Amino acid sequence: MRTLRSLVLASFAVVVLAAAACSSSAQQPAPAVRVSGDWHGNVEVPNDPIAVGVTFTEDGTATIDIPLQGIADAPLSEVKADQDNVTFALPKVAGNPTYQGKYDKGSDSILGRLTQSGKTFPLNLTHGRVELPPRPQQPRPPFPYKSEDVTYRSGDITIAGTLTEPNTPGTHPAVLLIPGSGAVDRDEEILGHKPFLLLADTLTRAGYVVLRSDKRGVGGTGGDLQDSDYNDLANDIGAGVAFLRGRPEIDGKRIGLLGHSEGGYLAPLYAARPDSGVAFAILMAGPAVPGSDVIQEQTQLILTAQGVQPDVIGKQIGYQSALASVLRVGDLEAARTLAHQYNDSLPADERQSNEAVDASVSIYMQALSNYDPAPALSALRMPVLAFFGSKDLQVPPAQSEGPMRALLAKDPDATVHVFDGLNHLMQPADKGTPDEYAKIQITIDPQVLTYITAWLTQRFPPNG
């Protein structure tokens, strides 16, 4: 899930070029000329080049952008940026990626190589920022509706979001968007795609007020996601619903939830509360089985699709199963010990930093792993739309479609649908693996946007 999973950097890094430069002992070396500004190039991985951008500042620091991996303005370490020695490293990344190059005056470029885990690839940099992959569906102003940045309280924290509202008069039904797992912003931005910006734009143009917000610890929202459990996150949904209900332009009896991935866990969890007042729920790739089962199944499917050896997959699944058992009894300290033991058993170039391992075992991850959606889903008695993509390897329909139908069987208005050929983000996909997400230009297949809008307008017509 981003959502029940974690994307890993592709293999790249720098080899140290032995620069030979002879100078007469009688000559004084010329002052080094600093390299600064924006540079870009491709890590020349065979058959799959990776575009990167590096920005060197006058104060000697630097950042890197890797659009295909959703990395933007990531700080670099060990930075040197003079014309004879351009070096940097990517801290806290497995395989210790490093770069070394040299400015070439004739071509006005930096010629060098990137090395990681003992593998070396050419990376030559030229002036200018790295180009972002095309995102033809991304909404851009001016918008034919109102857009307002808002804040509201949830217990001790402030939640920051964006409210979009049709220009038409009267009261409107409203939709609260709930993103997938991990630290994601109000647009649910992932790998250059902004699915929630697109959904908000689509639904607002159709006549609905839409609220989307930054998750805990992200953007303008306070708190710490890793210290939060599902009760906390469900309360955040309740705070958003209360905020919408307090707006005079919104029909308080027609407020619903749209959750993606983990949001498909949290939307029913809040909607099933007796006092929620939620009118409908839309579950986009929402799981219908416990979190630990989803994590293990997605690992099996993704690694198999990537051609990983069965024994390696088996070791990973075994670790995840053991970790889930420890998390189930609530012993976070024992879970961290197990996580470090597993990390130490990996080849040196695959190990994560101690900080990254600690962060992978938290109250939040415990909540995700332990959550069973069955009670909340089976309690729903409202219009529910649950849909999946047939090529989704993160929340595979083969695992969740059947249980979803069974759990919603007593709901008088429940629709479960599978879109053929779409992945976890509802993009038209080939294999469905996460490494395809950034390369696909489409953010959400238009047929999905049409389907959601038609289902919603049939049951809750704008200004109806």
pLDDT tens digit sequence for 66-112? 988 878 889 999 999 988 899 999 987 878 899 999 999 899 999 99
Residues ≥6 apart with Cβ < 8 Å to 409: none
The rounded distance, in Å, linking the Cα atoms of 148 and 244 is 13
Strand partners, 98: 89, 115
Say which residue the tokens 């140290």 belong to.
16
Give me the mean pLDDT over the 364-379 stretch. 97
Residue 5 has pLDDT above 70, yes or no: no
Cα–Cα dist 46/10, whole Å? 12
186: which residues sit within 8 A by CB, 6+ positions away?
A: 160, 161, 162, 196, 212, 213, 214, 219
Rounded average pLDDT over 243-249: 97
CA distance 373 to 436: 28
Tell me how far the alpha carbon of residue 457 is from its chain's centroid: 29
Name the average pLDDT for the chain: 91
Quote the CATH superfamily of domain 145-289+372-459: Alpha/Beta hydrolase fold, catalytic domain (3.40.50.1820)
Mean pLDDT over 45-49 rounds to 85
Q: Is the pLDDT of residue 15 over 70?
A: no
Residue 301's alpha-carbon distances to 180, 298, 341, 399, 433, in angstroms, are 19, 5, 24, 11, 9
Instruction: Sketch the domain layout of the chain as residue ranges.
Output: 37-127, 145-289+372-459, 292-368
Using left for φ > 0, alpha for ψ between -120 and 50, and beta otherwise, residue 323 falls in alpha
